[in-house]
């Protein structure tokens, strides 16, 4: 089987509605691009063992990914509740568009350094690739201002991914959207103790330029059931006047089509950079 690799066509098709220069976080180097590769398990692999899979991938993480200076972060997620139980998600972040290509080249160099013997290198990747089907898909996103950084954790966490779509209203503006988003994040997301992390992403390269992705990180499925209730309480606390709540909702809704899909994944903390 061929490995699930990041094979990206590099081109400049940015969603100009949101300036990535305003994205901020606590890291010294700010990620400006997020690559998401959706791979699939090889369902015909009879010798699958989760512990051995993690050990195999961790070897690659230690010898290649962690030593690759162009990859800021790397995360792996497995299916929890999605339409496709074969999904396995690989996420990486980069400081620039150019670094995506540089990271691929650097990984090639590190692979040869880690496995200088051609036969041993071939043997390792045969073992690694056996876990995956040949098919995969790639998307590239840009961060949208407003986030609740999730601190590193050695425990499995639940990641709810809400995939919505921008409507691009004629009477809308970047400034208004960012102001509305910030007010909501400051007074609802950041005050919701059940939400351990929150991120917003917009399309940069992929199949749908209207993509708007929100990611919520929680400790457990039980917390996932309760974040909506808690957010509603905080929403009503901040907008205590019903008329103002309706006004805010009307302004915010015009930026979206109203259509969305929900996907739940489990993190693999052992495979995190």
- Cβ neighbours of 55 (radius 10 Å): 11
Do the Cβ atoms of 75 and 153 come closer than 8 Å?
no
* Sequence-distant contacts of 44-47: CB under 8 A, at least 24 apart: 45/130, 45/131
Domain layout of the chain by residue ranges: 20-139, 145-267
* 20-139 belongs to CATH 3.40.470.10: no
Same fold for the domain at 20-139 and the one at 145-267? yes
Is 205:140 a contact under the CB 8 Å cutoff? yes
Give the pLDDT band of residue 251 (cuts 50, 70, 90): very high
Q: How far apart are CA 202 and CA 262, in angstroms?
A: 16
- Asked whether the beta carbons of 218 and 227 are under 8 A apart, the reply is yes
- Is residue 264 within 8 Å of 82, Cβ to Cβ? yes
What residues form DSSP beta bridges with 202? 142, 212
- β-bridge partners, 38: 89, 137
Task: Find the distance separating the first CA and the last CA of the chain, reported in whole Å.
Answer: 26
> What pLDDT score was predicted for residue 19?
33
Q: 145-267, what's its fold?
A: Alpha-Beta Plaits (3.30.70)
Q: Is the pLDDT of residue 117 over 90?
A: yes
What ranges make up the beta strands (E) of 61-157? 73-81, 87-94, 137-143
Look up residue 21 and give its DSSP letter. G
Dump pLDDT digits (tens) for 51-72. 999 999 999 999 999 999 999 9
Cα separation of 197 and 56, whole Å? 28
- What's the predicted TM-score (pTM) here? 0.86
| Average pLDDT of span 128-139 | 94
Asked if the model's pLDDT at residue 18 lies above 60, the reply is: no
Q: Are 41 and 132 in contact (CB under 8 A)?
A: yes
């Amino acid at each position: 089987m061929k490995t699930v690799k990041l094979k990206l066509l590099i081109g400049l098709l940015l969603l100009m509605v949101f300036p990535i220069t305003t994205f901020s976080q606590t890291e010294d180097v700010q990620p400006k691009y997020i690559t998401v590769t959706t791979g699939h398990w090889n369902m015909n692999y009879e010798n699958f063992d989760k512990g051995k899979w993690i050990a195999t991938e961790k070897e690659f993480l230690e010898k290649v990914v962690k030593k690759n200076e162009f990859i800021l972060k790397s995360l792996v997620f497995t299916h929890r509740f999605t339409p496709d139980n074969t999904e396995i998600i690989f996420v990486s972040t980069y400081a620039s568009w150019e670094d995506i290509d540089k990271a691929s080249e650097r990984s090639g160099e590190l692979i040869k350094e880690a496995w200088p013997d051609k036969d041993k290198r071939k043997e390792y990747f045969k073992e690694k690739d056996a876990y995956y089907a040949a098919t995969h898909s790639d998307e590239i996103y840009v961060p949208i201002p407003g986030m609740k950084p999730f601190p590193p954790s050695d425990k499995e966490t639940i990641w709810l991914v809400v995939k919505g779509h921008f409507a691009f209203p004629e009477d809308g503006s970047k400034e208004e959207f960012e102001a509305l988003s910030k007010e909501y994040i400051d007074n609802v997301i950041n005050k919701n103790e059940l939400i351990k992390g929150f991120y917003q992403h917009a399309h940069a390269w992929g199949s749908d330029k209207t993509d708007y992705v929100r990611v919520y990180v929680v400790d457990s499925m039980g917390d996932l059931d309760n974040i909506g209730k808690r957010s509603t309480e905080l929403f009503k606390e901040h907008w205590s006047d019903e008329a103002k709540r309706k006004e805010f909702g009307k302004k915010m809704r015009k930026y979206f089509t109203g259509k969305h899909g929900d996907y739940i994944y489990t993190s693999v903390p052992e495979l995190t950079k």
